[in-house]
Amino acid sequence: MTSGSAAEPQVELAPVRAGEELDWQSLERYLRQHLPELDGEFSVLQFPRGSANLTYRVKFGETLLVVRRPPFGTLAPGAHDMAREYKVLSRLHAGYPRAPRALLHCADPTVIGAEFFVNEYREGIVVWDTVPASMQSFADAGHRIGFAVIDALADLHEVEPAAVGLGDLGRPEGYLERQLAGWQKRWAAVEAEVGDDDTIALVRDVANRLSARKPISQRSGIVHNDYKVDNCQFAADDPTRVTSVFDWDMATVGDTLVDLGTLLNYWPDATADPGSDAAFTAVPGMDALELPSRHAVVERYAQNSTLDLSDIGWYEAFGCWKTVVILQQLYARFVRGESTDPRMGERGAAVAPLARRALGLLRA
C-alpha cells in the first residue's frame, strides 16, 4: 500500500527482515519439485519497501523468480488474495504485457505457512521519492514519469476482461455498493485500535457521505485496485516507459474510475496549499518528483477515455477513504504484535488528515 518514508534509501533488494523469514528449505524443495527446470544454488533476498504482502526474490543459479505470500497475522476478508493474484497474472499478460507472468500457485499453507505464488522476475527500476539517477538527464523527468503512469493505467482499462480469460474475475453489477459495504466492514474490524473518538466519527462520516453521493458507474473493466507510482516499474533509462505493474491481489472487474481515484489519492500536488488537507497524501516525500498536478493527471486520462470525469472528486475521496482503512489495518496489525516492521507503527498518524481530505472533496 504505502511506501517507506523519504528518509529511507531507495533499496530494491535487501536481506530478509528479522521476523519475516520463511521455511527456506521447504520452499526450495517445493520449487524444485514443481519447476524442475530450476538448477543451481538457492538464495533469497527480500523486496523491503512494500507494507503488506511479503515479497521475496529467490535465485536458483542464474534464474531469478519472485515469491509472494500474505503478511503474518489476522487478514482482512478478501485482502491479500494470492489465488486471485495468480489467476490475474497467469492470464493478463496476454493482453497487457506490463503484467508479469505468474508461473505457479501453492494453496498448501504447510509449505511456508501460507498460500503463495511465484511469478517471473523483471529487471527495471521503481520510482519512489526521487527521480532515479538514470533519468535525471531528461528535461521534466517528473512530468514524464507521471504521464507514463497514467498512460499505463488508461491502457489497462482498455483491456477487455473476457479477451484475456478474466471475464469472471468480478461482478460489475453493484460493484460500488459492494466496495462501500466491504470497506466499512474492514474499518469496523480495526477502529478499536484508533483510540480517538473524533477520528472514528470522522471516518464514519466520510463513509456515510460516500454512500449518499455514490455515482452511477459508466463502464466496467479490469480494476487494479491499488494503482500508484511505486507499483509501476520503468525501463531504467526511460521515464516515459512503464514496463511492469505489480501488486494485483485486489484486482477485479468493476468501475475503472476507482483506479483513477486511488491514484489521485496517492498523488502529491504542488498546486494545493502547503499544510492543507488537500495537500496531504499517505505516501510521504514524493513532492521532490515534481509530478504533474492532479488536474493534469485527470486531463491526461481524459485524452485516452470517453468517460465523463465530472464526478472524479467522489472517486478521489473514495480512494482516500479506502487508504484510510488500509492504514488503520496496518497500524492495528502492528499494535496486535502481528508485524515486526516499525514503519507500521507510524501508519495510524495519517488516518485523520487523510480522512479530512476525503471530507473536503465530498463537501466541494
Look up the CATH architecture of domain 126-363. Alpha-Beta Complex (3.90)
Taking the domains of the chain in order of start, what are their residue ranges? 24-124, 126-363
How much is the pLDDT for 277? 92
Could you tell me which CATH number the domain at 24-124 has? 3.30.200.20
How much is the pLDDT for 77? 64
How much is the pLDDT for 6? 38
Q: What is the pLDDT along the chain (364 residues), one digit of tens a residue?
A: 444 433 344 568 999 999 999 999 999 999 999 999 999 999 999 998 766 789 999 999 999 999 999 988 777 666 689 999 999 999 999 999 999 999 999 999 999 999 999 999 999 999 998 999 999 999 999 999 999 999 999 999 999 999 999 999 999 999 999 999 999 999 999 999 998 999 999 999 999 999 999 999 999 999 999 999 999 999 999 999 999 999 999 999 999 999 999 999 999 999 999 889 999 998 778 999 999 999 999 999 999 999 999 999 999 999 999 999 999 999 998 988 888 788 888 888 999 999 999 999 999 8
pTM: 0.90
How much is the pLDDT for 5? 39
How much is the pLDDT for 78? 64
SS3 of the chain: the string is: CCCCCCCCCCCCCECCCCCCCCCHHHHHHHHHHHCCCCCCCEEEEECCCCCCCEEEEEEECCEEEEEEECCCCCCCCCCCCHHHHHHHHCCHHHCCCCCCCEEEEECCCCCCCCCEEEEECCCCEECCCCCCHHHCCCCCHHHHHHHHHHHHHHHHHCCCHHHHCCCCCCCCCCHHHHHHHHHHHHHHHHHHHCCCHHHHHHHHHHHHHHHHCCCCCCCEEEECCCCCHHHEEECCCCCCCEEEECCCCCCEEEECHHHHHHHHHHCCCCCCCCCCHHHCCCCCCHHHHCCCCHHHHHHHHHHCCCCCCCCHHHHHHHHHHHHHHHHHHHHHHHHCCCCCCHHHHHHHHHHHHHHHHHHHHHHC
How much is the pLDDT for 1? 42
